Amino acid sequence: MKNVQITYELFLELIKYHLLESDADTEKIKKELTNKIDALVMRELYSKYKTAPTEEEKEKARKEYLDRRGVPDSFRW
Amino acid sequence: MKNVQITYELFLELIKYHLLESDADTEKIKKELTNKIDALVMRELYSKYKTAPTEEEKEKARKEYLDRRGVPDSFRW
């Protein structure tokens, strides 16, 4: 099973929230988890782009990647 | 800032709990977080043992490590 790396800070907030029932920064937890999902999706798209078997799929992954990154059309290769 | 590795399964439960507000396995979350803390403490103790400047500190870390591992006295080196 693969692992996911999270920041030490997020880990501490999760401990506070789930184990210590003390005041955890839930906004931080949400934000960091969201960022992490985003990073994983980006990596997946990049990997799809790099390994796509056809030019068409490659182009599709490249476009989706750039859309998500928010790269304007005029700056694309 | 250093990172902490968690399992993909734990990550998914955390997403469910914090972002999707769907039924997350909170027992699993607690258990996995507890195991992770334990693993980090064990590594810390082992590292202390390996890098202790004095024999006394080394022995203390070794003992604590073995106690936590639950190694019976008769099996120790």
- Tell me the per-residue pLDDT of A35-69, one tens digit each, with 9 for 90 and over: 999 888 888 888 888 899 999 988 888 888 888 88
Q: Return all residues near A32 (Cβ < 8 A) that are at least 6 apart.
A: A6, A7, A9, A10, A13
pLDDT surpasses 70 at B77: no
- Partner residue facing A33 (CB), from B5, B18, B30: B18
B55: left (phi over 0), alpha (psi -120 to 50) or beta: alpha
Q: Residues of chain B with pLDDT > 70: what percent?
A: 95
Residues β-bridged to residue B6: A4
Cβ distance of A6 and B6 shorter than 8 Å: yes
Are A52 and A58 a contacting pair, CB within 8 Å? yes
Q: Which residue from A minimizes the CA distance to B19? A: A30
Are B6 and B39 a contacting pair, CB within 8 Å? no
Is the ipTM above a cut-off of 0.85? no
pLDDT surpasses 70 at B1: no
Reduce the DSSP state of residue A6 to 3 states and report it: strand
- Residue with the bigger pLDDT between A5 and B2: it is A5
A23: left (phi over 0), alpha (psi -120 to 50) or beta: beta
pLDDT surpasses 70 at A77: no
- Partner residue facing A34 (CB), from B19, B29, B33: B19
Q: What is the pLDDT of residues B4-52, one digit of tens each?
A: 999 999 999 999 999 998 888 999 999 999 999 988 888 888 888 889 9
Q: Residues of chain A with pLDDT > 70: what percent?
A: 95
